A and B are shown apart, each in its own frame.
Chain A
Amino acid sequence: MMLARRIGGKLGGLLLTLFLASLLVFFSRFLVPGDPIRFLLRGRKPSAEAIELVRAQFGLDLPVWQQYVNWVTGMLQGDFGRSLQYRQDVSTVIGERLPVTLGLVVMSGILIGVIGLASGIIASLNRGKPLDRSILIGLTVLGAIPSFVGSIVLIAIFAVQLGWFPTFGSGEGFLDRIYHLVLPSIALALVFVVLVGKVTRSSMVEQLGREHVEVATSRGLRRAVVIRRHVFRNAIGPILTVSGMLVAGLIVASTIVEAAFGLAGIGSLLVASVDRLDFPVVQAIVLLVVAAFVVVNGIIDVLEPWIDPRSAAGGSAR
């Protein structure tokens, strides 16, 4: 009962966040100097009636609040409006490109999880030793490689010089898609691997110093068991929290990687749409990113009592 209330409260908070974010996203466009109509009618002498026609067609003639309500209700029904640029439903435009970005994000996510956790755990178990230091230095340097630099280097070496990977496109079919996304997901993962690695390390180190770990050791549990059951298990919380915060960042960072690898995901769509004042698309993507953030963090919040039973009681974590 307490738990249900707590989860309800958390979800309410997240929905409020989503609502406020939608306000921000929707009304920001009224700060834009350019008139989207101008773009719609590019290359033509627009007559007043033509402008009105287009305005009505895209619902730009309604009062602002009405536009917002229409927008939100539409979106709740899966109607994201119509792209000015592609003359198509935004949901179609985004829907076609979403799988690429999702694939990219999922593959990077796996890389980030595996490499980040592994490096963090190994470093923490060897803290103060040369291995720890090398991992830390390695992570610091890797983390300093912006994804566009990483992309260029990866393309130059593995796609062009060695020819191991394709230079463009996102492939068709499951395996081909994975093959095509290997390099981009590595480039995307770089910075995030470092963040996860460092959080893992410090969270593990913190837990390693805890007395209950010593207690477990003193009771004759093998080191591997102690690490798994008492150190890693307890270190998961902060790692998950940080990972949750990173999800939205990962989607946004894919803009750069998609641009560099010429992938048709929603990241490159976002940049193109920003450039062309295609507001419905920009708004939908931004809101999608925010929603992804809210959903992932909502899941993590809901999971929290299982990860840290104390939080269910409302006590302070750790």
Chain B
Amino acid sequence: MSAPTPTLAVRMMRGPRLKRAASWYFVSLGVLAVMTLAAVFAPFIAPYDPNLVNLSAVHQSPSIAHWLGTDSLGRDTLSRMIFGARTALLGPLLVVVFSTILGILLGLVAGWRGGWLDAVLGRFFDVIFAFPSLLIAIMAVALFGKGLVAPVIAMSIAYAPFVARLTRQLILSERSRPYVSAYRVQGFSGPWIALRRVLPNVTPIVGAQSTLNFGYVLAELAGLSFLGLGVQAPTADWGAMINEAQAGLVGGYFLPAIVPAVAVVIVVVAVNIIGEELSDRIGGGVPA
């Protein structure tokens, strides 16, 4: 007759971690906010046109005029970083949003409806799991050409099953909870319970988990650009910038490669911290 309380270990873990982690959480939020603002207002902030070629000022070191120096075409690295934030952030954002929506829908259908539909969807997920997201993205590039569109669509599909499986699992465990039976007994319809009550209970957890995908997607999209299969020149993109700047490395021009590389790392770290913190916070709100 003792009450089922969340295990002590879990509670113990949350206590001290939350406080310390919180400061990093806010720092990360700040970093991401700054990057997002820079991306949105890039035309107003960037000191130069990101594609402005100046062949007489290539590979300059940082100066008052060019805070982060210039690249092999004399383009302002800072301006390219600011504009590059657009594709760097937009791509993963779209993938996370699409895959989350798609995944939640599929997971909801599979988990709630069950039966043969669940089996078919499960098989479909299994097949997609066997194709790593980067592989799907590479295939999509081969099929539909380079740029942001094909990889983003492909990766949305690649990541959706992960979201869907989590959603399905949560929906299943949620569906077996007495509160769902209670709604049924009260006369509420199945779809109403699924969409209005169960889904909102599940979405935050799924959302928080999806946030963690942002980092992976960003790294993978940048990797795709690095392979020359992603965002194409002259569009400023962090991954493509690293790719372009690679040639300069032999000449000892490290800055044009390091600046976007560091930016990628910082954003991924920030997003992961935020995602984990969110999962922690939200996960803590629902009885385990």
Which residues does A use to contact B, with CB under 8 Å? Answer: 13, 16-18, 20-21, 24, 28-29, 31-33, 127-128, 133, 140-141, 143-149, 152-153, 156, 191, 205-206, 208-209, 245, 248-249, 251-253, 255-256, 259-260, 270-271, 274-275, 277, 282, 286, 289-290, 293-294
Contact = CB atoms under 8 A, between A and B. Distances in A.
A286 B131 contact: yes
30 contacts: A16-B123, A17-B130, A20-B123, A21-B130, A32-B143, A128-B13, A143-B268, A143-B272, A144-B265, A144-B269, A144-B272, A145-B265, A146-B220, A146-B223, A148-B223, A149-B242, A149-B261, A149-B265, A156-B254, A209-B7, A209-B9, A245-B129, A251-B132, A252-B135, A255-B134, A259-B227, A289-B130, A289-B132, A290-B131, A293-B129
A29 B143 CA distance: 7
Contacts of A127: 13
Contacts of A271: 138, 227, 229
A245 B215 CA distance: 18
Given A148-B222, A248-B135, A128 B265 contact: no
A248 B249 contact: no
Nearest to B268: A144
Contact of A191 (B129, B138, B219, B273): B219
Given A133-B20, A149-B264, A248-B130, A156 B226 contact: no
Contacts of A208: 9
Contact of A128 (B12, B127, B239, B254): B12
B138 to A, nearest CB: 6
B131 A21 contact: yes
B235 interface: no
A156 B219 contact: no
Interface in B238-267: 239, 242, 246, 249, 254, 257, 261, 264-266
A151 B247 CA distance: 14
Interface of B: 7-10, 12-13, 16-17, 20, 123, 126-127, 129-135, 138-139, 141-145, 215, 219-220, 222-223, 226-229, 239, 242, 246, 249, 254, 257, 261, 264-266, 268-269, 272-273
Contacts of B223: 146-148, 253, 256
A251 B130 CA distance: 12
B132 A252 contact: yes
Contact of B134 (A145, A205, A206, A249): A249
B126 A13 contact: yes
B143 A128 contact: no
Q: For A17, A33, A140, A149, which residue has the most chain B Cβ atoms within 10 angstroms?
A: A149
A290 to B, nearest CB: 5
A260 B223 CA distance: 11
A293 B130 contact: yes
A275 B230 CA distance: 12
B169 to A, nearest CB: 11
Interface centre among A140, A153, A206, A282 (most CB of B within 10 A): A140
Contacts of A13: 123, 126
